[in-house]
Structure 1
Amino acid sequence: MFRNAVRVLGVAGLATAPVLGAAAGAVADEVGPGTAGVRLEYYVPGQRLLAPGESLWFGIEGMPPGWDRVEITSPALQKPALLVPAKKGARESTEPADDGGPRIREGLRAGSYPVTATSHGRTVATTRVKVIGEDAAEVFRFVIGPAGALPGGTTPARVRPGSDIQVLLNDLRGDPEETSLTVTSPVFTGPVTIRTGSPDDPGCKCDDPGTVYAGRGRVRPDVAPGRYPMTVKSHHGKQTTTRHVTVAGEPVAHGPSPAAIGAVSAGAAVLVAGGVIAVRRRRSRTSG
């Protein structure tokens, strides 16, 4: 069922009518009241979270023999959705037509909303859908790793004190007018700027779709091993996202910074100049 769905968002539903079969273990993150038996599912094409105006698909499984229709209602939906058997005698509903499915109401506030499946006036399953705000971020990856390496997965890698690092963020709902973000952490030598179109973007297919921000920074050489927060504010300061970074291992040794090299060079130049002046003065006194 739902072979065309890109990502599964939620699986839910427990029967409330005892005629629907023997109880079974719950298989969902969120379930309705009553005994198990009928399972109500929903899928979101192309996205992991739901926002107002976006579509989703419903499906139902475990219906008793002979069922012919189930109506899906929710205060979150623009209008009810109708499910019918996949074929004669099937206990599950058919795949929906490629019409985008029912939609979340425009202007809906972020929150969790009840969904009810009824068949001829009897409730057969319930679940809830989570809806985010219209301008909310959906951060799929916010990771850190050694500079020059492909940041894998969705969990920040361990980094060593003093190491050069690469930070990457993928927002599935990135603001097109926001081309750079600032990442802060007590482990960084300073704020790290990440940008769209950055040469540090590894071009990983796992980041399709989404807006990718990438940039480089350095871990403080004196930071103690441990777990530290890494935070970014996006969507013009409306969204704050935090992940945790693990610092472990021996510090990475670096040569003096360009500023320090410049200061040493300037000091050496002063010493050389002073020596030349002193020699000239001695020569002048000798010749006199």
Structure 2
Amino acid sequence: MFPPPSLRRWAPGLAAAGALLLSAAPGAAAARGPHLSYTGAGPGVRIEVNGPVAFNVAGMPAGTDEVTVTSPALVEPIPLTPLEKGSVQFVQTDAPGTRHRIRGDIAPGTYPVTATSHGRTVATARIAVVAEGSAVIGRFVVGDAKRPLPGDGDPGAVRPGSDVIVVLTDRQPAAGETSLTVKSPLFEGPLTLREGEDDPGCKCDDGSTLFGGHTTVRDDIPAGRYPMTVVSHHGQETTTRQVTVAGPPVPHSRLPWLIGGGTAVALAAIAAVAVRRRRHKRQAAD
């Protein structure tokens, strides 16, 4: 899919591929009929309320001279033109004064899109529209504090009792939000991620805002898959990742007498030694 040159000015990180939410034209085989797809100005396939959008129809019959895209989500119908003379791929070109955008007065949701040629439907799709200014989470992972962090979606695992780093990146963070809260059965309690956390174990140099935090996986958690959830954008958005726990617990160097009631015994012994020393000093003074 090739976005039109005019779309490039909207965002340096324009996605190269659209949301391939496709359906073939009525009566045509899906593999051979025209296909409608779209892309937005942000990473991936996110399309925002009041945001830009570009459409593409591939596989049109030879000799087709025009295609028009309509949707209740669009400000106005969008005409498509051949990528080049005789091409079966039609792309969006935005002339000055056109308003080829998502409407600003609609609610986030999924809307139908229809591509027609001379009044005949050639392809349909559905477009997912999110709220304006929504989070764009690029990476939300947990990994061993002493090893490179896994990539987003990597099936890497953590061990019970291990010291870990949790990292989240957002290409569109909420204004004034400098910390986030993560909850998971993995941890004893909520974990605070702070913006620009030192030593995050992540290069994260794609322009995103980085949030990071350190914690320890519970010693007693059984092997399995567990959710890790963060609430961001001042409580408006929730993002969850699944984390795998596997392997034996990480041993911790603790002296046996410091565990349980042994602590009280040790303290009593130390106190007894101190008393004896004071007595010896008094006797020597006398």
For 1:11, what is the secondary structure of its paired residue?
Answer: coil
Please say if residues 7 and 45 of structure 1, whose CA atoms lie closer than 8 Å, have aligned partners that are also in contact.
no
Measured after TM superposition, the shift of residue 191 of structure 1 is 2.5
For 2:19, the equivalent position in structure 1 comes to 10
TM-score (norm 2): 0.81
Summarize the alignment of residues 34-183 of structure 1 with structure 2, pairs less than 5 Å apart: 37-48=33-44, 49-94=46-91, 96=93, 102-155=100-153, 157-183=156-182
> Structure 2 regions of 5+ residues with no counterpart?
9-13
Contact 1:185 1:228 in 2 (8 A): yes
- How many Å separate the matches in 2 of 1:162 and 1:112? 43
The whole-number CA distance in structure 2 between the counterparts of 1:244 and 1:41 is 29
> For residue 196 of structure 2, what is the aligned residue in structure 1?
197
Deviation at 1:194, TM superposition (A): 1.1
Residue 17 of structure 1: how far off its partner (Å) = 5.1
How many residues get paired? 268
| 1:199/1:268 CA distance change after superposition, 3 Å | farther
SS of corresponding position for 2:273 = helix
Q: Classify the secondary structure of the residue corresponding to 2:280.
A: helix
Equivalent residue, structure 2, for 1:241: 239
Shift of 1:59: 0.9
| CA 273–7 in structure 1, closer or farther in 2 if over 3 Å, else same | farther
The range that moved more, 88-97 or 169-178, is 88-97
Give the share of equivalent positions with the same residue, in percent: 43
- Conserved in 2, the CA contact under 8 Å of 1:158 and 1:246? yes
Letter in 1 for 2:71: S
- Asked whether the equivalents of residues 23 and 35 of structure 2 are also in contact (C-alpha less than 8 Å), the reply is yes
Q: Secondary structure at the match of 1:170?
A: strand
1:38 partner amino acid: P
Deviates more, 1:270-279 or 1:45-54: 270-279
1:140-182: CA deviations, max 9, x gaps?
3211000043322213631111110010112232113111112
* 8 Å CA contact retained: 1:140, 1:154: yes
Moved more, 271-280 or 242-251: 271-280
Give the aligned partner of residue 280 of structure 2. 279
Indicate how the Cα distance of structure 1 residues 95 and 103 shifts in structure 2: closer, same or farther if over 3 A, else same: closer
Determine the C-alpha separation between the residues in 1 that align with 2:207 and 2:48.
16
Q: 1:192 to 1:116 in 2, by over 3 A?
A: same
User: What is the RMSD computed on CA atoms of the aligned residues?
Assistant: 3.0
Q: Which residue of 1 aligns with 2:11?
A: none
